[in-house]
Structure 1
Amino acid sequence: MNATKRRAIYETLQSLTPHPKTELEYTTPFELLIAVMLSAQATDVSVNKAMRKMFPVANTPAAVLALGEERVSEYIRTIGLYRTKAKNVIATCRMLVDQHGGEVPDNREALEALPGVGRKTASVVLNTAFGQPTIAVDTHIFRVANRTGLAPGKDVRAVETALEKFTPKEFLQDAHHWLILHGRYVCKARVPECWHCVIEPLCEYRPKTPAPVE
């Protein structure tokens, strides 16, 4: 895909959603960190439902530590892999208190050192909480980047590298939000909804999916 077409894709997505945001609900970097940790192999909807109950009770590292692993487990029981996630949440809160004064660090190395925090989670926090132009490649972005031809790659790191290389600088801050939303609601895994896709004329995916016959 050439640079002109890539720019046109981002311009089109920007015109549709000028100020994209994560669908996870949060008010502080810490709330975002915990929500993103919990969202692995789970839906944003399920995480939001659980956090609407937990955050009013505990939304700081010290307060979550005071809850303890069992009570955190109770709050997140409806989320996949909740026992492992509860352990990671507690361990992360302990590190934040002991090593970072209870604050979420704003650099990748420190974030990825936290239990249960990988590159994708760190990228989301850096981008959304701290305004850094990172691109967190999840399954939606991996699919959209490869299917459209925007930034093909054999694995998520290759796609991340390609997106960072080929995305015009003015779109880097919001790129991953646009691509996630597009993959979640239009360029779906099983049946991409090409018949109402705003970037269909620019997309290099073949064959296009026709509209369903009613």
Structure 2
Amino acid sequence: MNLAALRENYQKGELLETTVHQDPIEQFKIWFQEASNAKVPEPNAMFLSTVGHNNKPAGRIVLLKHVDEAFSFFTNYHSRKGAELAHHAQASITFFWGELERQIRIEGHVHKMSEVLSTEYFHQRPRESQLGAWVSDQSSRVESREYLEQRYAELAKEFEGKEIPKPAHWGGYELIPDYFEFWQGRPSRLHDRIVYEKNGQAWERYRIAP
């Protein structure tokens, strides 16, 4: 395989200062709806980047579950990302929708969601997912797949016919953005990149080179 020869000449759209929304969250919602309309698989899948105690970055895909003034996702607080966010509360999320030749980078401060909202969302999840949150001590070593399946069966029996409570170690995070970059692929690698950067209470908008 010749990786150096793999390339696409992007030509599905354009991104202009005169047509983007003044509010980056509204612009995100416009693009997200267009990704959904285009049947992009899991358009809410986003690459979450965090920084650990050793100052090394780490990334993984998580699912966006709500967006208003913040971008919300849920996870185990004891996971690697949970530990890293407790240490360093700055993070970035990246969406890539190849079908539309688009990418969005968002940076900001992360904090835990309220217990009330986390509990409310937990009980909206499928029962199997609720059990999974109890089974998995996320990011820790496990002896085998069989251990997880046995633990799942035990908890399914324990909670049979009962409401499953939200584990104390599981809940939501909200990323409060202070930086957006909207990227639209263009021919000849002259891509459109429009940045929104928080300046006090206002957003400064400008173009950067591809």
Q: What is the TM-score with the length of structure 1 in the denominator?
A: 0.25
Q: Greater strand percent: which structure?
A: 2
Decide which structure has the larger Cα Rg and report it: 2
Q: What is the TM-score with the length of structure 2 in the denominator?
A: 0.25
Higher relative contact order (Cα pairs below 8 Å, separated by 6+ residues): 2
